[in-house]
Amino acid sequence: MSPKIDAILLSLTLEEKISLLAGKNFWETVPIPSKGIPSIKTSDGPNGARGEVFNGGTRAACFPSAVCSAATWNLDLSKQIGSALAEETLTKGARVLLGPTMCNHRHPLGGRNFESFSEDPLLAGKLAAQVVIGLQEKGVAATIKHFAANEQETERLSVDELIPERALREIYMKPFEIAIKEANPWAVMTAYNKVNGIHADSHPLLLQKALRGEWGWNGLVMSDWGGTNSTVDSLNAGLDLEMPGPTRHRSAKTVSEAVEKGLVIKATIDDRTRNVLEFIEKVGGFDNPDIPPEKSVDDPAHRKLIREVAGQGLVLLKNENGILPLQKEQIKGKKVALLGLAKEALIHGGGSASLHSHYRISPWDGLHSAFGECVEFKYAKGAHTYRQLPPMINNTISLDGRPGWTMEYFEHGKTENPIKVTHAYKDASLSPLFDDCAKWNDLHLSTTLIPDETGSHYLSCSGMGPTVVSINDKVIFEQKGNSEDSMAFLLGGVTEKEFTFPFAKGESYEIHIRSSPPGGTDDIGGILEGRPGFRLGFMNQQEHDEDLLSKAVEVARDCDVAIVFTGHTPVWETEGQDQSGFNLPKDGSQDRLVDAVSSVNSRVIVVNSTGVAVAMPWLSKVSAIIQAWFPGQEAGNAIADVLSGAVNPSGKLPVSFPKRIEDAPAYGNFPGAKKDGQLTVKYDEGVFVGYRHYDRLAQKKVQFPFGFGLSYTSFSLKDGRVAQPSHNAFQATISVFNTGQRAGATVVQLYIGRSQKSPEHPIKTLAAFKKVFLEAGQHQVVELLVLLKEFAYFDEASGSWTVDKGRYDFSFGQSTTHIESVITVDIEGTRQLKL
């Protein structure tokens, strides 16, 4: 600790120390100007520095999602991403980025999987560590999150996850352990959920025994936003900073009383305060205390990096008869159908990962840039993919005669004398974070709708709290309770029931919405407490019932090649809720599109943008598939690069793609079951997550295996060797050959497992990897250093990492099912490793 921190700490009163242990507001820490303590600002993360406004704020660079960058298997690119994210963070006046997110992909329906790297803890930890290094080399704090086991969004604030310690250590804590030991992040964010009955923000094993004890880490522990669940327990366990502010659990009165009663000792308050002060010092807050205004800096170097990462992250899953790449000279003068989500840039998922990007390149834009006028592109959407009807906005007149709505704020429970009136409000929706004036108030929204078409038009409604909608004084919708999922409501992912109402063109309809704040304690830990929110969706009958599929089939029939763009828009894959199903939304519309197009065109290419594995019932009917993930603001250009052959695909799957959701390892234990109001999920699969599970199945249950990815060239691995230069390390070497006709890259993957199979242990575990770039005909000898810890298991009986004596197979491959060289090594004597 520096003398400066020593002096400041000695100067603080108990009340001042307590004030530092929770945020000032949504993004900033508490300053104490009289003691020279500044406020520092944080920003979401993890694929861009959004700034303080959730929707439509300062523009920012949108980087590929973590699962896309993980598909590159490129450590150098991860470090470059961290460096660029640091530069972006500083443009938002922030010194702390809330990322990277690094929880494991336990189940394909995890709503936030896209924001994390992989199902494999080694791959996730190694890549995250490089992001951390890149960030902190430029003075911006990384905040690795969410510690630990935040693998689902369903009831994430209270779900109790029953996890055996071995699985907890080997799968869910290991990525964090790797990042801690290799990169020393300056901050760790705790998870919302409980682990074995104890909330993560006050968990002794996570925060005391492992993080600060065994791992020897000394940094700042902050809560997730609204994720502080206690006063005494969280302070004693090691939670330094409650976010956001103002505090709910750490008022001067509450904490002082706890100290007086001996529930929290003063030394603990000093420790928590010291960590906050040292954190401010690490990010340069004392040297430069100002928080500058946010600005948008569209850096060409960031553009280039985003496009490169996306290009290396796209995974070619199928390429029948070499249909790809679509080279200019081969398709010049031909007609190409761009179908589905071709005009939508699916650059990020929903929630903390969303931001107002500098720009968004759609596949339509990217392919036109790549091919110019040498190809005739034809477009048809082909499928309805919206999750909610758009808010009612057109043909509305507010009470003062202007277009829009009139919004009135009333003291809760009272309907006379509004506190505030706003005319010409834009549409029939209100985000619960939009206006602090609305907190604890009832809101009334009124308009006169004059439709421009006659028909039984469609409406849909939802509210944060009790909400009533009437047309011409007739109630058409009533929600009596709170939203079932308040975070999903905030992020636009609540599925609303649609219904129709008969409207006549030119007639006037008086529409009123009455919405109250959520009642009781059904909020998300205080972030949305007392905040009303509502929406009224509207779509005319003709648009709603339009037959999009037939038009797409006609276009595909008339074209030489059909490219169908499928995927999840941010409301379908988002923080706040898990996936609605394994098939692409909506209601099978995208699957029907691919199937119908394949029936009239034999040259169909599917480009899928999701952060998770999805069902592909049409797999055998299409010629090629590219998994594009959420590739950032350069999405369309990166996709065009791979389709055209300007970039040779080198992405490898960081997650397994099962054939059926029933074959997933956590199936039946996701998202859990309720008993006496408590959602509990059993991690009965133990350490057999992802490929560790699929390896054990007799029948082929996996559609595309972990580590898989095709190229426009070919590679082979030969002459594997393993030496043991020290007691705890092995040196593995393999020769990699580019046996094809063009330059490209592959990933050498080294897996280790017992030669004598055991039902208690995975058949093999990823222990090392390296991406290799080779010219056509070139070869290279790759060296991989492997420590015993990389394939040790956690022995619960002894509480230690253990490698049993015996024979072990060192398997070199290009995926878990494409193993090309196996070397057997004898390990003499059981070895227990230091924690």
pLDDT for position 761: 98
75-91 and 121-136 helices cross at what angle (nearest 10)? Answer: 40
Q: Is the pLDDT of residue 575 over 80?
A: yes
Spatial distance between the Cα atoms of 777 and 743, rounded to a whole number of angstroms: 8
Q: Report the CATH number at residue 762.
A: 2.60.40.10
Residue 437 has pLDDT above 80, yes or no: no
Confidence of residue 518 (pLDDT cuts 50, 70, 90): confident
Which residues lie below 8 Å from residue 318, measured CB to CB, with a gap of 6+?
619, 622, 623, 624, 625, 710
pLDDT: which is higher, 56 or 642: 642
Output the pLDDT for position 525.
Answer: 46
561 with 682, same domain: the answer is yes
Q: How many independent structural domains does the chain possess?
A: 4
Residue 436 scores a pLDDT above 70 = no
The reply to whether 794 and 824 lie within a common domain is yes
Q: Contact, 166 vs 793, CB < 8 A?
A: yes
- Are 397 and 447 within 8 A, CB to CB? yes
pLDDT, residue 470, reads 97
Same-domain check for residues 411 and 383: no
pLDDT tens digit sequence for 693-741: 999 997 788 999 999 999 999 999 999 999 999 888 999 999 999 999 9
Q: Are residues 669 and 551 in the same domain?
A: yes
CB 568 within 8 A of CB 348: no
Residue at 500: amino acid letter: T
Closest Cα to residue 478, out of 461, 464, 494, 496?
A: 461
Q: Decide: 63 and 294 in contact? Cβ < 8 Å.
A: no
Query: DSSP readout, 361-377?
Result: --HHHHHHHHHTTSSEE
Domain boundary among 478, 499, 532: 532
Q: How far is CA 826 from CA 224, 732, 811, 829, 830, in A?
A: 46, 14, 14, 10, 11
Cis peptide before 246 (omega within 30 of 0): yes
Residue span of the structural domain in which 271 resides: 1-39+219-282
Predicted local distance difference test score (pLDDT) of residue 216? 97
β-pairing verdict for 96-98 and 141-147? parallel
pLDDT at 522: 44
Which structure tokens are listed for 362? 């759609």
Cβ atoms of 639 and 564 within 8 Å: the answer is no
Q: How far apart are CA 645 and CA 743, in angstroms?
A: 11
Q: Are 62 and 355 in contact (CB under 8 A)?
A: yes
User: Does 408 share its domain with 480?
Assistant: yes
Last residue of a domain, one of 694, 726, 755: 694
Closest CA to 143 of 170, 180, 117, 92: 180
Q: Return left, alpha or beta for 122; rule: phi > 0 is left, psi -120 to 50 is alpha, else beta.
A: alpha
pLDDT tens, 777-794? 999 999 999 999 999 999
pLDDT of 438 reads 74
Amino acid 229: pLDDT? 96
pLDDT computed for residue 487 by the predictor: 74
In a domain, 708, yes or no: no
Residue type at 584 in one-letter notation: L
**Of 532, 554, 588, which residue sits at a domain end?**
532
Q: What is the DSSP letter of 750?
A: E
In terms of domains, do 777 and 805 share one? yes
Mean pLDDT, the chain, as a whole number?
95
Place of tokens 């009303």: 532
What whole-number distance in Å separates Cα of residue 136 and Cα of residue 287?
A: 17
Give, as one character, the DSSP assignment of residue 434: S
pLDDT at residue 66 above 60? yes
Q: What is the CATH number of the domain that holds 463?
A: 2.60.120.260
Q: What integer pLDDT is reported at residue 685 of this predicted model?
A: 98
| 113 pLDDT higher than 60 | yes
Task: Quote the pLDDT of residue 434.
Answer: 65
pLDDT at 524: 47
The answer on 550 and 688 residing in a single domain is yes
% pLDDT > 90, the chain: 89
Reference 125, options 181, 77, 189, 166; nearest CA is 181
Q: What are phi and psi of 547, to 5 degrees?
A: -85, 90
The residues, ordered by sequence, that sit 6+ positions from 456 with a Cβ below 8 Å of its Cβ are 500, 501, 502, 503, 541
DSSP 661: G
Please tell me whether residues 737 and 821 are part of one structural domain.
yes
Question: Are both 726 and 646 inside the same structural domain?
Answer: no
CA atoms 298, 299, 304, 305: torsion sign: negative
Q: Is residue 742 part of a domain?
A: yes
Please say if the pLDDT value at position 43 is more than 90: yes
Which of 191-195, 386-390, 414-418, 607-611 has the lowest average pLDDT?
A: 414-418
**Of 554, 670, 654, nearest in space to 612 by CA:** 654
pLDDT band for 523, please (50, 70, 90 cuts): very low
Rounded Cα distance between 484 and 495, Å, is 10
Q: Which of 212-221, 470-479, 692-701, 809-818 has the lowest mean pLDDT?
A: 692-701
Asked whether 32 and 16 are in contact (CB, 8 A), the reply is yes
pLDDT of residue 416: 85
Examine residue 340 and state whether it is found in any structural domain, yes or no: yes
- The tokens describing 588, both together, are 């099978």
Q: What is the pLDDT of residue 415?
A: 82
Do 474 and 492 share a domain, yes or no? yes
Q: What is the pLDDT of residues 706-717, one digit of tens each?
A: 999 999 999 999
The Cα–Cα gap between 161 and 164 comes to: 10
Question: What is the mean pLDDT of the segment spanning 732-752?
Answer: 98
Catalytic positions: 224
Tell me the residue type at 291.
Answer: I
Query: Reduced to 3 states, what is the DSSP secondary structure of residue 360?
Result: coil
More confident residue, 330 or 140: 140
The structure tokens listed for 783 are 């060296």
Closest CA to 737 of 693, 777, 687, 680: 777
What CATH number corresponds to the domain at position 596? 3.40.50.1700
Q: How many other CB atoms sit within 10 Å of the CB of residue 756?
A: 10
Average pLDDT of span 265-282: 98
Q: What is the mean pLDDT of residues 315-322?
A: 97
On whether residue 71 sits in a domain, the answer given is no
Q: Is residue 444 part of a domain?
A: yes
DSSP code, position 172: I
Whether 352 and 380 map to the same domain: the answer is yes
Rounded Cα distance between 222 and 228, Å, is 9
Shared domain check, 772 and 735: yes
140 is a domain residue: no
Give the residue-averaged pLDDT of 675-690: 96
What pLDDT shows up at residue 633? 98
Residue 521 has pLDDT above 50, yes or no: no
User: For the chain, what is the radius of gyration of the CA atoms?
Assistant: 28
- Give the pLDDT confidence of 161-177 residue by residue, as tens digits: 999 999 999 999 999 99
604-609 and 561-567 beta bridge pairing: parallel
Residue 145 lies in a domain: no
Q: Report the pLDDT averaged over residues 681-704.
A: 95
pLDDT, tens only, 619-660: 999 999 999 999 999 999 999 999 999 999 999 999 999 999
The pLDDT tens digits of the residues spanning 226-239 come to: 999 999 999 999 99
Burial of 328 (0-12, 13-18, 19+ CB in 10 A): middle
